[in-house]
Amino acid sequence: MPSDNPIIIKKYANRRLYHTGTSAYVTLEDLARLVKNGEDFLVQDAKTGEDITRSVLGQIIFEHENRGNNGSLLPIAFLRQLIQFYGDSMQAILPSYLESSLATFTRDQEKLREHLSKSLQENPLGLMEEQARRNMELFSEAMRMWMPFPPKPEGSRPGTSERNGKDGGKTQRADTEKREAERDGEIEALKKQLQDIQKTLEGIAGRQKA
C-alpha cells in the first residue's frame, strides 16, 4: 500500500537517481524492486522540483519491454491500440478503465495464479479465449456507460422537411457506416491481440511438454 510519506527520489541532469532516504544513488532496477515491494516513491527533478514520477515509471517499463520475450508484458497489438487512443475522444476514460481492470486483476491474482497454473496444463488456449471474452464484455459495458443513448433512426428529428430528411438520412447513414467501420477495426485489432497471446501460450505449453 502507498504510504502517506513516500520516498523522495531526486533525478539529476546526468540522469543519476538519488534516494534521499538512504542517501545513496540508485538505478531503475532498484526502483522497480521498490515498486514490487509495495514501497511508494516520488521522483523529482533535482533542479526544478517537478514531479517526473510518470516518466521514470515509463522508463522502467521500457527497460523491461526491451529485454525480450521473457520480460515483455505488452503485446504489439495492444501497444498499437494504445497509441491510437492518444487524442481520441475515448482517451479521457481509458486510463480509469485500465486502472480499474488492473486493480481487479491484482486483487484476484492469487486465485488467478492457481487457476492459470491448472488451466495452462489442461487447456491454455481455452483460458485465454475466456479471458478475452470477459475483457470484451467489460469494454462493451464501459462503452454503454459513456454512450447510453443510441443514435436516432433516420427521419426521427421533428420539424425536418422532406428534402432535409433525405440529406439528413444520407449523413446519418454515412456516420453509421463510419462508426461500424471503426468498430470492425477495433474488433480485428482485439482478435489480433488474442492471436498473439495464443501463440505465446502455445510456446509456453510446448516448453512445458519438452
* Residue 162: predicted pLDDT: 47
29 and 117, same structural domain? Answer: no
Radius of gyration of the chain (CA): 23
* Residue 17: predicted pLDDT: 96
Check residues 180 and 84 and name the one with the higher pLDDT.
84
Check residues 66 and 165 and name the one with the higher pLDDT.
66
Residue 80: all three cell numbers together: 498499437
CA–CA separation, 152 and 171 (whole Å) = 12
* Residue 34: predicted pLDDT: 94
187 and 133, same structural domain? Answer: yes
* Residue 148: predicted pLDDT: 47
CB 8 within 8 A of CB 20: yes
Check residues 180 and 64 and name the one with the higher pLDDT.
64
Domain closes at, from 46, 73, 100: 73
175 and 102, same structural domain? Answer: yes
Q: How many domains does the chain have?
A: 2
Domain coverage including residue 58: 1-73
Give per-residue pLDDT as tens, 18-75.
999 999 999 999 999 999 999 999 999 999 999 999 999 999 999 888 876 566 788 8
pLDDT of 157 higher than 80: no
106 and 38, same structural domain? Answer: no
168 and 111, same structural domain? Answer: yes
152 and 91, same structural domain? Answer: yes
159 and 89, same structural domain? Answer: yes
pLDDT of 155 higher than 80: no
- pTM confidence score: 0.52
CA–CA separation, 134 and 111 (whole Å) = 16
109 and 14, same structural domain? Answer: no
13 and 78, same structural domain? Answer: no
152 and 54, same structural domain? Answer: no
pLDDT of 166 higher than 80: no
Check residues 178 and 210 and name the one with the higher pLDDT.
178
